[in-house]
Amino acid sequence: MSRPHHRVGPLAAAPGSAPVLDVDALLDDPQTGIIVCCGSGGVGKTTTSAALALRAAERGRKVVVLTIDPARRLAQSMGIAALDNTPRPVEGVQGEGSLDAMMLDMKRTFDEVVEGQASPEKAQQILENPFYVALSSSFAGTQEYMAMEKLGQLRRDAQRDGTYDLIVVDTPPSRSALDFLDAPDRLSSFLDGRFVKLLLAPARGPARLMTAGLGIVTSALSKVLGGAFLRDLQTFIAAIDTVFGGFRVRAQQTYALLQAPGTAFLVVAAPEPDALREAAYFVERLGEEQMPLAGLVVNRASRAPLGDLSADEAMAASARLKRESGVSETAPVTAGLLRLHADRARIVEREAALRERFAAAHPSIATAVVPALAGDVHDLDGLRVVGALLAGD
Amino acid sequence: MSLLSRVVDVSDWPRVRLHVVTGKGGTGKSTVAAALALALASHGKNVLLCEVEGRQGIARMFDVDPLPFEERRIAAGLTGEDGASPGAVHALHIDPEAALLEYLALYYRLGRAGRALDKFGVVEFATTIAPGVRDVLLTGKIYEAVQRNARNKGAIEYDAVVLDAPPTGRITQFLNVSEVAGGLAKVGPIKNQSDTMMTLFRSPRTAIHFVTVLEEMPVQETADGIEEVRAAGLPVGGVVVNLTRPRDLRVKDLGVARRGELDRDGVAADLARVGVDGGDTMVDGLLHEAQEHAVRRALEDSQRKLVKELDVPSYELSRLPQGVDLGGLYELAASLRQQGLA
């Protein structure tokens, strides 16, 4: 929220609409060290991240893009089809800059954290525990947490070795965009939870009173889940307890990194009610957490049709042509063109209304509107086109 | 009515009691689940529509207050083509914490201990942190709604349950409860119950429908999802292709439009004939729109071909230019029913 300067382009003064996001200024600013693209699923976050990263690289920056789940062909064209959790150079980038890309391997990242924090025997014990296996591969939020962990690692390595000066992060396709901010906290609250503390508490001294209550709890749990469940859980918690201190410190570091001025959040949305609602939540949440928001990207916007024929006029003309079919050979085609025009005019009108409502509620959010492409994006040329559209070229 | 016209009550899925609707984010799976529930709730049938992701999407779509963990009647079903009176759609927002407490009360009469669990943070622990437990609780409640038993006195017996399920990438894991629970609880009642649940989920009384749009990644994800679901022994239902573009241009004109070779003078003359006067800009604009449309259609057709190759029944819903409101849901429901998904 408290960025030193506003990244707002010359069209910002247009009354009654959102200021225009100046993407190139954001990418060119040497202060911009991290760009985080967030938003609900299916709005084109991955493509946006990749396009921004490529554009930044071709404008001279040393960039790494961390993607979560790219389309197969896009991943192949960027040379990251193999999921090995390390950045690989992308071939075919023009100019002085460079672009590396990597795909996040959630489980491997988690394993590496454990191995880095615990002694070999303890690490082994943790990695084999069924609770760890489930937690590291299926806990809702693990992916978000690991994306943040990997971001922290990349940032530390980049600062040490001078490898990158810009990290672009794609966030996981969460149920809700907010999961991504909540996940580190949820892992911490796991540690501080009363239940975990109870399981760790020795059954003597002042804790005895509590353990009397715990007796009821554990016997109820054993009844429901079977005794092995509880034993595995207790082993897991005892084993991982030492590791968790490290987790918490790192989660806090990453959180602070996100709040730092070198970070820019871009909220990505599509011109649909659900996606924009999520975007609104996210914008508000970033404000509350004092995370630096650079702007909103609205993908897949329908292009306004040329000419000022309204949808109703087009439908009426189409109907008239249909009645008079046979007057010319092209009449069916023209009638079809008019119906297509009406369809598009209606969609454009609805999308504009949705964007205006968003802008009315969040008037200061700089926005880039990216028109929908006719085809899918699966190579660098396609990403260049998206990048140019993002920058308003 | 000709012999060939669709008989009113023929569904492709007559035996299915549990319709699971999944799909990649942004494909409209919640819309399709809601439309399917409306379509199934014709002819006096009672249908339960469940959501499990805490989004309150059902309440928004049906324009009702946020749903509690309680079955609520939210809408009349679709009126049949024969004018038969509709049934009702009920909705349930499944919240894992409430499901756990209900489960403990129903099966274990855990009065004091149940409260103790809550007090000691076990309920919160189990539902937010303990891996897989959350899914087991959610699917457990769905199982209970499909397979009502004597414990839940006075509960409605539904003719069908529709689940607005987690996205394609998570669906197998979500329904594969016995594996998750089995990995954690090797013996005991949870293990037995998750096995019983799996029997339902793997039976022909369940169908997992995939919602997609005609774009590369969602179609690919659908193909991967179907493979995964099959490999887990779960029954694949149909593919619902959502948000298809209008087909206002004839197939024979599409290629011409794509190459930008439509008869410009002819179109201009037609426009003049019906009093549309926009000059060259208008004609060029329309031809340009036609070209873009034709490119998109070609892409859609190539993806449609891939959907056909999946070799499962497919259904199409066209994009509503004004967006989906309650009326739009009924329109989509009628289309699904006519195509035989319901």
B7-50 pLDDT, tens per residue? Answer: 455 789 999 999 999 998 889 999 999 999 999 998 889 999 99
Cα separation, A290 vs B29, in Å, equals 34
Q: Is the pLDDT of residue B274 over 70?
A: yes
pLDDT of residue B21: 98
Query: Residue A42: which of B25, B122, B180 has the nearest Cβ?
Result: B25
A177 touching chain B per CB within 8 A: no
Q: Mutate which of A77, A308, A340 to disrupt the B interface (most B C-beta within 10 Å)?
A: A340
Question: Hey, which of A97-111, A361-375, A379-393 has the most confident mean pLDDT?
Answer: A379-393
Q: What is the mean pLDDT of residues A322-337?
A: 86
> Where exactly does CATH 3.40.50.300 map onto chain B?
18-245+319-339
Is B266's CB within 8 Å of A328's CB?
yes
In single-letter form, the type of residue at position B92 comes to L
Query: Residue B122: which of A195, A219, A328 has the nearest Cβ?
Result: A195
Query: Residue A334: which of B122, B134, B267 has the nearest Cβ?
Result: B267
Q: Which residues contact B268 (CB under 8 A, 6 or more apart)?
A: B283
Cα separation, B92 vs B99, in Å, equals 11
Q: Is the pLDDT of residue A100 over 90?
A: yes
Lowest mean pLDDT among A5-14, A382-391, B26-35, B328-337: A5-14
Q: What is the mean pLDDT of residues A369-388?
A: 89
Cα of B25 to nearest chain A Cα, Å:
5
A206-231 pLDDT, tens per residue? Answer: 444 455 566 666 676 666 666 666 67
| Whole-model pTM over 0.90 | no
Cα separation, A200 vs A202, in Å, equals 6
Phi-psi region of A36 (alpha: psi -120 to 50; beta: other; left: phi over 0): beta
Question: Measured at the alpha carbon of residue A293, what is the angle toward residues A291 and A298, in degrees to the nearest 5?
Answer: 140
pLDDT of residue B337: 94
- The helix/strand/coil state of A188 is helix
CATH number of A10-192+239-305+355-390: 3.40.50.300
Cα separation, A64 vs A82, in Å, equals 16
Q: What is the mean pLDDT of chain B?
A: 87
B324, B316 in Cβ contact below 8 A? no
Q: Is the pLDDT of residue A3 over 90?
A: no
ipTM of the complex: 0.82
Q: What is the mean pLDDT of chain A?
A: 81
pLDDT of residue B2: 39
**Of residues A325 and B207, more confidently modeled:** B207
Q: What is the mean pLDDT of residues B93-109?
A: 80
Cα separation, B309 vs A346, in Å, equals 34
**DSSP 8-class letter at A171:** P
B128, A238 in Cβ contact below 8 A? no
Is A138's CB within 8 Å of B27's CB?
no
Phi-psi region of B224 (alpha: psi -120 to 50; beta: other; left: phi over 0): alpha
B210-263 pLDDT, tens per residue? Answer: 999 998 889 999 999 999 999 999 999 999 999 998 888 998 999 999 999 999
A145-187 pLDDT, tens per residue? Answer: 788 888 888 998 898 999 999 999 988 766 555 666 676 666 6
pLDDT band for A192, please (50, 70, 90 cuts). Answer: low
Q: Is the pLDDT of residue A205 over 60?
A: no
Q: Which of B121, B134, B186, B129 is nearest to A232 (CA)?
A: B186
Q: What is the mean pLDDT of residues B181-198?
A: 70
- C-beta atoms surrounding A315 within 10 Å: 17
CATH number of B18-245+319-339: 3.40.50.300
Q: Which of residues 179-208 of A touch B (CB under 8 A)?
A: 186, 190, 193-196, 198
Please classify residue B341 by burial: count the beta carbons closer than 10 Å to its beta carbon, then call 0-12 exposed, 13-18 middle and 19+ buried: buried
CA dihedral of A318, A322, A325, A329, whole degrees rounded to 10: 40
**DSSP 8-class letter at A65:** E
Total residue length of chain A: 393
A41-85 pLDDT, tens per residue? Answer: 788 888 999 999 999 999 999 999 998 777 676 787 777 766 568
- Which chain A residues are closer than 8 Å to B116 by Cβ? 213, 216-217, 220
**DSSP 8-class letter at A139:** -
Sign of CA dihedral B35, B36, B38, B42: positive
Q: Is the pLDDT of residue B122 over 90?
A: no
Query: Residue A72: which of B125, B220, B262 has the nearest Cβ?
Result: B220
Rounded percentage of chain A residues whose pLDDT exceeds 90: 37
Phi-psi region of A326 (alpha: psi -120 to 50; beta: other; left: phi over 0): left
Total residue length of chain B: 342
Cα separation, B6 vs B80, in Å, equals 13
Cα separation, B327 vs B56, in Å, equals 19
**Of residues A320 and B115, more confidently modeled:** A320
Cα of B277 to nearest chain A Cα, Å:
9
A256, A151 in Cβ contact below 8 A? no
A193, B123 in Cβ contact below 8 A? no
Give the rounded distance of the alpha carbon of B279 from its chain centre: 46
Is A42's CB within 8 Å of B185's CB?
no
pLDDT band for A189, please (50, 70, 90 cuts). Answer: low
Lowest mean pLDDT among A132-136, A267-271, B95-99: A132-136
Q: Which of residues 31-90 of A touch B (CB under 8 A)?
A: 40-43, 69, 71-73
Q: Is the pLDDT of residue A98 over 50?
A: yes
Q: What is the mean pLDDT of residues B121-133?
A: 63
Q: Mutate which of A174, A333, A355 to disrupt the B interface (most B C-beta within 10 Å)?
A: A333
Nearest CA in chain B to A321: B274
Which residues are paired to B239 by β-bridges? B210, B314
- Which chain A residues are closer than 8 Å to B273 by Cβ? 321, 324, 327-328
Give me B331's structure tokens. 């329109």
Give me B90's structure tokens. 């009920």
pLDDT of residue B157: 93
pLDDT band for A204, please (50, 70, 90 cuts). Answer: very low
pLDDT band for A196, please (50, 70, 90 cuts). Answer: low
- 3-class DSSP string for chain B: CCCCCCCCCCCCCCCCCEEEEEECCCCCHHHHHHHHHHHHCCCCCEEEEEECCCCCHHHHHHCCCCCCCCCEEEEECCCCCCCCCCCEEEEEECCHHHHHHHHHHHHHCCCHHHHHHHHCCHHHHHHHHCCCHHHHHHHHHHHHHHCCCCCCCCCCCCCEEEEECCCHHHHHHHHCHHHHHHHHCCCCHHHHHHHHHHHHHHCCCEEEEEEECCCHHHHHHHHHHHHHHHHCCCCEEEEEEEEECCCCCCHHHHHHHHCCCCCHHHHHHHHHHCCCCCHHHHHHHHHHHHHHHHHHHHHHHHHHHHHHHCCCCEEEEECCCCCCCHHHHHHHHHHHHHHCCC
Domain boundaries, chain A: 10-192+239-305+355-390
Cα of B6 to nearest chain A Cα, Å:
29
Instruction: State the Rg of chain A over Cα.
Output: 26
Sign of CA dihedral B292, B296, B301, B302: positive
pLDDT band for B77, please (50, 70, 90 cuts). Answer: very high
pLDDT of residue A281: 87
Is B187's CB within 8 Å of A195's CB?
no
**DSSP 8-class letter at A85:** S
pLDDT of residue A209: 47
pLDDT of residue A113: 82
